[in-house]
Amino acid sequence: MPRITSAKVIVTCPGRNFVTLKIETDEGVYGLGDATLNGRELAVASYLADHVIPCLIGRDAHRIEDIWQYLYKGAYWRRGPVTMSAIAAVDMALWDIKGKIAGLPLYQLLGGACREGAMVYGHANGKTIEETIENALHYQQLGYKAIRLQSGVPGLASTYGVSKDRYFYEPADADLPTENLWSSEKYLRSVPPLFEKAREALGWDVHLLHDIHHRLTPIEAGRLGKDLEPYRPFWLEDATPAENQANFRLIRQHTTSPLAVGEVFNAIWDCKELIEEQLIDYIRATVVHAGGITHLRRIASFADMHNVRTGCHGATDLSPVCMAAALHFDLSVPNFGVQEYMRHTEETDAVFPHHYSFADGMMHPGDAPGLGADIDEELAARYEYKRAYLPVNRLEDGSMWHW
């Protein structure tokens, strides 16, 4: 059996910071895991290097579940984004090793393909409704079957999801947090016309998504959901902060617009009531932030019992290693919904060569053994870590709000 002989954490910044775990074995096979936590990258790098790696050396790399349980139960201080991203990186790397030794792409080890490809959604955005729709038409021409719409809000200098260069969205934009201003009232007025005009321009054969990004109260989210029902949104994401899972009961009472939540979740406990009470329609938890393939499969199986489908987060701050792992997961789960796909820059793709590909609105992980993603360590070393924070949000009266 393949013994773990060493492991290292590679921090690189090809335009944005990524943290990657590389586990080596005595059979000369290595595995990779994404451990990137946007804005808190070094916390996970240290958790791995200083606290996890010493416990891995000498272990049987095939014992994925046992190592997962060891790192989860053995931590004492359970859960949280740092701990679960570290566990996720180990889990991804061990699945990568198992696939490479078996000579099989990961999805074949997870039960084989349930579908030919994973439907992905692109990110149309713009400062105005017109700009956003023009961008959405471009995504439609590229073959996307699902498109997220994020538009500027009249009266606000900035808002979530509207990027400077339209195609590569990177919210971690400064050495100290940028302060944004927010008004839910101005925002609530701006979304229905966006969807009305989008349906006029794009028609009904394309799924339209929107990310509220945690910024409404439950009753405001209920109102927006109701306002958008005539335009059939595929989902409204992060309608309200989900620490209090009961918030979603209130939204559910007022609208049939489908709800998605979970990109910030790191364990099944974060979404237990949301799923078993069917308060949501899609669970957004990811391989990198929710404990890896092993834990995400548990969440997906639990969700399947309650008519909830998967909709993994896939922003640029999840590395191509995570994207590859997500696509193997997407291909193999029965209750797949959609996969977010925010393309990485060419710089990032050069550091992380991979086998996944896009065609006709869908993505496939490829058939290389394991994850089918790698890291060019020499190139990675040329990009020094550069501290970068996600912005913060304040209401117009100056009080802190959700970003």
Q: Which residues bind ligand CS2 (CB under 6 A)?
A: 38, 171, 211, 213, 263, 313, 315, 317, 340, 390
Looking at beta carbons only, is 2 or 122 nearer to ligand CS2?
Answer: 122
Q: Phi and psi for 187 in degrees, rounded to 5?
A: -65, -45
Q: Which does 38 bind (CB under 5 to 8 A by kind): Mg ion, ligand CS2, none?
A: ligand CS2
Q: Phi and psi for 346 in degrees, rounded to 5?
A: -65, -35
Hey, which residues does 207 pair with through a beta bridge? 146
Q: Tell the residue number behind the tokens 């949280």, with chain if given.
A: 80
Give me the least distance between CB of 157 and ligand CS2, in Å please.
18
Query: Which sign, positive or negative, has the C-alpha torsion 41, 169, 292, 18?
Result: negative
Q: Which does 315 bind (CB under 5 to 8 A by kind): ligand CS2, Mg ion, none?
A: ligand CS2
Nearest to 339, CA basis, from 315, 306, 321, 370:
315
Per annotation, catalytic residue among 160, 169, 187, 383:
160
Looking at beta carbons only, is 125 or 247 nearer to ligand CS2?
Answer: 125
Nearest to 72, CA basis, from 60, 85, 54, 59:
85
Provide the H-helix boundaries in 103-246: 106-109, 129-141, 184-202, 218-228
Looking at beta carbons only, is 93 or 212 nearer to Mg ion?
Answer: 212
- Catalytic residue at 282? no
- Cα atoms in the Cβ-side hemisphere of radius 13 Å centred on 400: 4
Looking at beta carbons only, is 2 or 171 nearer to ligand CS2?
Answer: 171
Q: Which does 181 bind (CB under 5 to 8 A by kind): Mg ion, ligand CS2, none?
A: none
Instruction: Please say whether the beta carbons of 211 and 187 come within 8 A.
Output: no
Q: Phi and psi for 198 in degrees, rounded to 5?
A: -65, -45
Give me the least distance between CB of 191 and ligand CS2, in Å please.
16
Give me the least distance between CB of 53 and ligand CS2, in Å please.
25
**Per-residue buried b or exposed e for 291-308, using 16+ beta carbons within 10 Å of the residue's own CB:** bbbbbbbebbebbbeeeb
What are the distances in angstroms from CA 179 to CA 128, 166, 345? Answer: 21, 21, 26
Q: Tell the residue number behind the tokens 């990109």, with chain if given.
A: 263
Looking at beta carbons only, is 220 or 263 nearer to Mg ion?
Answer: 263
Strands in 50-138 per DSSP E? 118-126
Q: Which does 75 bind (CB under 5 to 8 A by kind): ligand CS2, Mg ion, none?
A: none
Burial of 100 (0-12, 13-18, 19+ CB in 10 A): buried
Give me the least distance between CB of 25 and ligand CS2, in Å please.
32
Q: Tell the residue number behind the tokens 């990032």, with chain if given.
A: 348
Per annotation, catalytic residue among 123, 207, 210, 213:
213
Q: Which does 392 bind (CB under 5 to 8 A by kind): ligand CS2, Mg ion, none?
A: none
Looking at beta carbons only, is 342 or 375 nearer to Mg ion?
Answer: 342
Q: Which does 171 bind (CB under 5 to 8 A by kind): Mg ion, ligand CS2, none?
A: ligand CS2
Give me the least distance between CB of 245 and ligand CS2, in Å please.
19
Contact footprint for Mg ion (CB under 5 A): 211, 263
Strand-by-strand arrangement of the 4-12 sheet = 4-12, 18-25, 30-34
Give me the least distance between CB of 264 and ligand CS2, in Å please.
8
- Catalytic residue at 138? no
Give me the least distance between CB of 178 and ligand CS2, in Å please.
13
C-beta neighbour count of 35 within 10 angstroms: 32
Residues 6+ apart with CB under 8 A from 127: 151, 152, 162
Looking at beta carbons only, is 96 or 263 nearer to ligand CS2?
Answer: 263
Q: Which does 42 bind (CB under 5 to 8 A by kind): ligand CS2, Mg ion, none?
A: none
Catalytic machinery residues: 160, 213
